[in-house]
Structure 1
Amino acid sequence: MLKRIAVLAMTGATFALVLEFSQVFRTLPALASSDQQATRVVIEKSARRLTLERDGRVLARYEVALGANPAGQKAREGDGRTPEGVYSVDFKHPRSRYHLALRITYPDARASEAAKQAGVSPGGDIMIHGIRNGLGWVGGLHRERDWTDGCIAVTNAEIREIWSRVPEGTPVEIRP
């Protein structure tokens, strides 16, 4: 009897992981009402905080994890830094490896030129995203250390809220 229960539990756990990794049944969050849509996203690296604003009014705040080496401006691909500057959301990725993701417009012309002068790649695909698929159960524990390659990470529940409130084209300011 215990063996049968263990097999059923393992089968259920395996099925749940397959579903999360395959994203087969994932539904996208409904868009928030227009008065709840952000007109700006502000990320304060030193405070590990992401703020959604609408016309200067705070809509929501979230604690974040950053690149594994977050201090300073991103200089090259693989440096583990989260860039600083003013960008915008240029794509909402519904099938990200990190639940859902909003890509920002890094590198800009300045970062591209600086990297070119240094003879390195500036990197790219900087996103605001959730937890890696299959690890969503970690939840807020992911913030115990900075772990991304330069992205801004929140929980899966939080990225669903952010996704619903941040349209493409929204400015994103990343401060030191």
Structure 2
Amino acid sequence: MRGFGFLLLLVAALGLSACAPKSKFLKYRGPEVTQVQVHKADRKLYLLHNDKVLKSYDIALGFAPVGHKQFEGDGKTPEGQYFISHKNPDSRYHLSLGVSYPNEADIAFAEAAGKSPGGDIFIHGGPKTKVSQRDWTWGCVSITDREMEVVYSMVKPGTPIFFLP
């Protein structure tokens, strides 16, 4: 009888552990991501190790994605080379990776026009509510929350990111 009680307790403990919420912080033990590429026209994000694609994802962009981001509120996603600046585990959009936009040239261009270049460009998870259009962000790159968990685990701050037209 004593063995049956222990077995029952073990089964209950395993059952409860299966109900525990899954962490959004995954562990990655594969090849280093040496660069991220965003192909705007194709709506694709690629994670690369040297010249080998490790992962690719369909993406959403800013609500006016054609052309380089120039000013705050223009709805464009940047073009050119930037870097992953930081990880944000407390993002409004599940998880996010910061992008080093604006750079010095972006700031100078916007200031010459008497405007702000904007900022807070991220790769992030999806919105909490349904969106009615494919490109809906203010200039960020969006993927699903589950995909973002994988990307977040693979990409480190300092990784170059290339935004291609």
Give the alignment's TM-score, normalised by structure 1.
Answer: 0.78
Question: Is 2:100 the counterpart of 1:105?
Answer: yes
> What amino acid is the match of 1:145?
R
Question: Is 2:128 the counterpart of 1:128?
Answer: no
> What amino acid is the match of 2:37?
V
Report the structure number with the largest CA radius of gyration: 2
* Other-structure match for 2:36: 41
Question: Is 2:80 the counterpart of 1:85?
Answer: yes
- Equivalents in 2 of 1:86, 1:128: separation in Å? 14
Structure ranking higher in helix proportion: 1
Please list every run of 5 or more consecutive structure 1 residues that lacks an aligned counterpart in the other structure: 1-24
Q: Which one of the candidate residues 46, 49, 53 is aligned to 1:51?
A: 46
Query: Is the partner of 2:163 in helix, strand or coil?
Result: strand
- Equivalents in 2 of 1:154, 1:125: separation in Å? 17
Q: Which one of the candidate residues 134, 137, 159 is aligned to 1:170?
A: 159
Task: Assess if the C-alpha contact under 8 Å between 2:99 and 2:120 holds in 1.
Answer: yes
Task: Assess if the C-alpha contact under 8 Å between 1:28 and 1:94 holds in 2.
Answer: no
- Equivalents in 2 of 1:55, 1:145: separation in Å? 30
Q: CA RMSD in A?
A: 1.7
**Alignment CA distance shift 1:148-1:97 (3 Å):** same
Task: Assess if the C-alpha contact under 8 Å between 1:100 and 1:130 holds in 2.
Answer: yes
Q: Which one of the candidate residues 118, 127, 138 is aligned to 1:149?
A: 138
Question: Is 2:63 the counterpart of 1:68?
Answer: yes
Query: Is the partner of 1:81 in helix, strand or coil?
Result: coil
Query: Is the partner of 2:149 in helix, strand or coil?
Result: helix
Paired residues, what number? 145
State the percentage of identical aligned residues: 41
Please list every run of 5 or more consecutive structure 2 residues that lacks an aligned counterpart in the other structure: 1-20
Query: Is the partner of 2:110 in helix, strand or coil?
Result: helix
Q: Which one of the candidate residues 90, 96, 102 is aligned to 2:91?
A: 96
**Alignment CA distance shift 1:144-1:85 (3 Å):** same
- Equivalents in 2 of 1:151, 1:157: separation in Å? 17
Could you give the per-residue CA deviations for residues 44-70 of structure 1, whole angstroms, max 9, x where no partner exists?
000000000001111010000000000
